[in-house]
Structure 1
Amino acid sequence: MTDAKEINNCGGSAFSRDPLLYVKLLVQVGHEPLPPTIGRNVLGRKVLYLPGFFTYARHIVEVDGKRGLFRGLTPRLISSTLSTITRGSVKKAFPLEDMEHVSNKDDVKTSLRKVVRETSHEMMMQCVSRVVSHPLHVISMRCMVQFVGREVKYSGVFSAIGRILKEEGILGFFVGLVPHVLGDVIFLWCCNLLAHFINTYAVDDNFSQASVIRSYTKFVMGIAVSMLTYPFLLVGDLMAVNNCGLRAGLPPYAPAFASWIHCWRYLSAQGQLFRGSSLLFRRAPIPASFPVD
């Protein structure tokens, strides 16, 4: 069974998506180096917009050059490679026996059992690969957020490993792991179960395009569920850089969080649980003195 969302990236996709993930992380930590601009929404009213991805990326190029868009790329590539290898190894060690395709409503119990088995297997692979690759993910996050304070504390993979071991111990490699794993697990189960019930009860087998519709159901569910589980991704990334000695993980960007739950509650109280989820149309809070037509 294939996921509706590609949780793991191969090395090439990590390279091509790195600028996007880099800008997203800087937005997630609350770094806004450029002032908002005045625009208009679909109703013609004046709106303050924060810089989108392309404007933000152009600013990074102006500060660090084009190579600056690829901060943290090396640990990200290693993390992606470890994740892919781990998933393959787990899949080999614990193969999933193939089951017959079931689509009739008379076989709902059998079909649901198949979905549960496949999702459980996928969850096991994802959790193991996440644990193995997370230390490099933490290093990648910290390399990238050094842009905020212009630090050079994390300048290489091996030196970063030594520094984290010295300052935080083994647990320092796994900060932010729990919300990431929870987000992955919730995503897999919600996406697969919702797609199963929609395909079973809403799509008639007698319809000529039923198979085509079913193939897109999981994709659509993946987009919807990924939006709902985004706060787990945000909290996990913020915890990876929080209170690690870098400016982006300290006030005024964020307090020193005692746990990921503390981080979640803080963001929820600020109305920021979806910060960074969109990089194209980012509305800024409108000050009281801002004229509205």
Structure 2
Amino acid sequence: MADAAALPSEALTPPGGGPGAGPGPGRAEGAEGLFVVLGAGLAAASHPLLYVKLLVQVGHEPLPPTIGRNVLGKKVLYLPGFFTYARHIVKVDGKRGLFRGLTPRLISSTLSTVTRGNVKKAFPLEDMEHVSNKDDMKTSLRKVVKETSHEMMMQCVSRVVSHPLHAYVSVLLVISMRCMVQFIGREVKYSGVFSAIVRIFKEEGILGFFVGVVPHIVGDVIFLWCCNLLAHFINTYAVDDNFSQASVIRSYTKFVMGIAMSMLTYPFLLVGDLMAVNNCGLRAGLPPYAPVFTSWIHCWRYLSAQGQLFRGSSLVFRRAPMQAACFPID
């Protein structure tokens, strides 16, 4: 499945509310601070998973495939899963190696959360009440459109502000990703947050901090609109008000739709991540891992032609590509 942490948080927030859900400004601020801390902790805990995912996304396969069987009992070739890949990283770099690029990612995650919270305060939106009567469909749909537009604005602003802090691996999202993919070529070009910022600015200018941001934003926008509209139509037409558990089902509809849409919009995440490291002077952004892309559309077309638009979406049962299975496995 796609990286949920990189997608809009509103649609992936389970029922119960997010930061500031409780009454009173003091409690809201405390909840927001707690949310930031919990978000940072989750980012740290999930970093090895995202690290392995990024290496798989750029096409780094340091271990040979192994023979396994599918559900029909047929022998197939499987590429190493997350745990096997992680053990390889530990063998090469030690346990600390699993957290390469974590610092810029934590800063980026925190900045994104704080930015989203500040945008919410600057542009408040009244609570949306569910309209279950089909006669009120136009009114209900108008509210959904207004709410989604508000979420889209917050997501785009927070993405643009925090994105430069991530191409250090993925300057922090860009910085974090470049820091991680240095594992492939054993480079040390990006060794610190501030030095990486200076280097990117000198080599690529201000636009270097926003490389790959366009497909991320496009994916975010498609995700938000599809998730919110689908949840709205399901809650309005598919869930009967006479059903005893209707309110419970409605509370989880958006959450479930968020998971489904995260998988469908995964190619935008993949393309954005690849553009963040492409042609940046690191081995992971140059042939043979990838050609030098002229735009994210070029990258998308290349991956589509290779049948690789969902590369890295799963880290468990990873079937080897056809070219790797050209020899007998019986």
1:61 is matched with which residue: 83, 90, 102?
90
1:53 and 1:39 map into 2 onto residues whose CA distance is: 16
Partner SS for 1:81: helix
**Count of matched residue positions in the alignment of Structure 1 and Structure 2:** 290
Deviation at 1:4, TM superposition (A): 2.6
Deviation at 1:128, TM superposition (A): 0.2
Q: Match of 2:112?
A: 83
1:13 is matched with which residue: 42, 47, 50?
42
1:146 is matched with which residue: 182, 190, 194?
182
The answer to whether the 8 Å contact 2:100/2:179 transfers is yes
Q: Match of 1:102?
A: 131
The answer to whether the 8 Å contact 2:300/2:309 transfers is yes
Deviation at 1:99, TM superposition (A): 4.1
Q: Match of 2:11?
A: 4
1:195 and 1:116 map into 2 onto residues whose CA distance is: 12
Deviation at 1:66, TM superposition (A): 0.5
Q: Match of 1:197?
A: 233
Where do 1:1-293 residues align within 5 Å?
A: 3-5=10-12, 10-136=39-165, 137-286=173-322, 287-291=325-329
Q: Match of 2:22?
A: none
Single out whichever of 213-222 and 141-150 deviates more from structure 2.
213-222
Structure 1 gap segments, 5+ residues each: none
Deviation at 1:149, TM superposition (A): 0.2
Q: Normalization by structure 1: what TM-score?
A: 0.96
Partner SS for 1:268: helix
Deviation at 1:103, TM superposition (A): 1.8
**Deviations, residues 146-202 of structure 1 (Å, cap 9, x unaligned):** 000000000000000000011000000000000000001100000010010011111
Deviation at 1:269, TM superposition (A): 0.5
Percent of aligned positions that are identical: 87
Letter in 1 for 2:290: A
2:91 and 2:326 map into 1 onto residues whose CA distance is: 33
Q: Normalization by structure 2: what TM-score?
A: 0.86
Partner SS for 2:174: helix
2:128 and 2:223 map into 1 onto residues whose CA distance is: 23
The answer to whether the 8 Å contact 2:76/2:329 transfers is no
1:223 and 1:72 map into 2 onto residues whose CA distance is: 26
Letter in 2 for 1:232: F
Partner SS for 1:183: helix
Structure 2 gap segments, 5+ residues each: 1-8, 14-35, 166-172
Deviation at 1:291, TM superposition (A): 4.1
Single out whichever of 158-167 and 108-117 deviates more from structure 2.
108-117
Give the CA RMSD over aligned residues.
1.4
Deviation at 1:98, TM superposition (A): 2.7
The answer to whether the 8 Å contact 2:67/2:329 transfers is no
**Deviations, residues 240-268 of structure 1 (Å, cap 9, x unaligned):** 00000000000000011000000000000
Deviation at 1:221, TM superposition (A): 1.1
1:5 and 1:97 map into 2 onto residues whose CA distance is: 20
**Deviations, residues 61-111 of structure 1 (Å, cap 9, x unaligned):** 010011000011000011011101111111111110234432221211111
Letter in 2 for 1:206: N
2:301 and 2:321 map into 1 onto residues whose CA distance is: 20
Counterparts in 2 of 1:28 and 1:99: CA distance versus 1, 3 Å? closer
